[in-house]
Amino acid sequence: MITTDFATGSPCWLDLGAPDVAATARFYGAVFGWEFEPFSAEDAQYGFFKLDGKVVGGVGPLTEEGARSAWMIYFRTPDAAATAEAVRRAGGTVRVEPMDADGEGRMAQFTDPQGGQFAVWQPGGFAGVDVVDAPGALSWTELYTTDAAAAKEFYGSLFDWQTQDMDLPGGGGTYSLITPSGLPPERMHGGLMQLPSEALALNGGRPYWHPVFGTTDCDATVAKVTAHGGTVQMGPEDAEGVGRLAVCVDPSGADFVVLAPAEG
């Protein structure tokens, strides 16, 4: 599971680029009970999402021309500049060069060789989200990719992730579980799955990462999603040994998953 004892290569932060920050904050507030808190009084467009006073993510306006609204997942690194060089050597692209973030740390954003976008965070005064693996908080990360073998090789070269393949029921393909280097299986933080480009229409056929947020009642959360202008791509449905889940899209087109974990 994801914890706030962030290890190298583990997800530690996520933020959302939105075309209308105020409307997006209202949507997630209605779905998960999040409150929006601006980073500063001078700039109300960038801010934290908080749940019961604890930071669960961030949000700000879209900054790239032609970009779709999407969640960006940040993985912990001890050295953002070194990771950027490793991305280049492995055939990826540095989209945002390593930069200071108001003295709280350093960040950089990348694109993997297949087209999936992700980021890294080198902590300074700010380690990352305050709460994970709980209702309304990040509980898993997931990559849909067009080439699972290439993705495992690329991300393995950056973070030395451990992966374990499992067959999905009903001939649904192979799902690769991801664990930070050197940590036990209970610290698994995500997975990746190969899909054909036509199944990735949400991102123009290119791979993409998305977050999974916990909930105590998947169906009730999905009802809130649709009641407030979002849509459902898949589910709700039961996944054996995992729980009840649904793939959702917010009103601006950003996708996320809601999961009520299986008991036991």
Across residues 114-124, what is the average pLDDT? 96
Is the pLDDT at 68 greater than 70? The verdict is yes
Query: What would the pLDDT profile of 149-172 be if each residue is shown by its tens digit?
Result: 999 999 999 999 999 999 887 777
Is the pLDDT at 63 greater than 80? The verdict is no
Which DSSP letter does residue 251 get? T
- Report the DSSP pairing between strands 138-145 and 190-194: parallel
Q: Any residues with CB less than 8 A from the CB of 73 and at least 6 apart, and which?
A: 11, 13, 14, 118, 119, 141, 209, 210, 211
The 3 state secondary structure assigned to 164-222 is EEEECHHHCCEEEEEECCCCCHHHCCEEEEECCHHHHHHHCCCCEEEEEEECCCHHHHH
Residue 151: predicted pLDDT: 97
Query: What would the pLDDT profile of 15-51 be if each residue is shown by its tens digit?
Result: 999 999 999 999 999 999 999 999 876 677 889 999 9
Is the pLDDT at 218 greater than 90? The verdict is yes
pLDDT band at 215 (very low <50, low <70, confident <90, very high): very high
Across residues 132-155, what is the average pLDDT? 96
Residue 126: predicted pLDDT: 92
Question: Are 59 and 36 in contact, with CB atoms under 8 Å apart?
Answer: yes
Tokens of 251: 């009103």
Residue 45: predicted pLDDT: 80
Tokens of 254: 């950003």
pLDDT band at 188 (very low <50, low <70, confident <90, very high): very high
Residue 264: predicted pLDDT: 61
- 31 φ/ψ angles, rounded to the nearest 5 degrees: -80, -45
Residue 121: predicted pLDDT: 98
Which DSSP letter does residue 256 get? E
Minimal CA–CA distance to 101: which of 85, 123, 79, 81? 123
Report how far residue 112's alpha carbon sits from residue 66's, in angstroms, rounded to the nearest whole number: 19
Q: Where in the chain is the domain with CATH 3.10.180.10?
A: 11-123, 138-261
Across residues 164-190, what is the average pLDDT? 89
One CATH from 2.40.10.170, 1.10.600.10, 3.40.50.720, 3.10.180.10 for 11-123: 3.10.180.10
Nearest-5° Cα angle at 26, 3 to 143: 40
Q: Which CATH superfamily is domain 138-261 in?
A: 2,3-Dihydroxybiphenyl 1,2-Dioxygenase, domain 1 (3.10.180.10)
Which DSSP letter does residue 139 get? E
The pTM of this model reads 0.95
Location of structure tokens 């904050």: 25
Report how far residue 20's alpha carbon sits from residue 2's, in angstroms, rounded to the nearest whole number: 29
pLDDT band at 233 (very low <50, low <70, confident <90, very high): very high
Report how far residue 238's alpha carbon sits from residue 215's, in angstroms, rounded to the nearest whole number: 14
Average pLDDT, the chain: 93
Report how far residue 107's alpha carbon sits from residue 95's, in angstroms, rounded to the nearest whole number: 11
Report how far residue 158's alpha carbon sits from residue 145's, in angstroms, rounded to the nearest whole number: 17
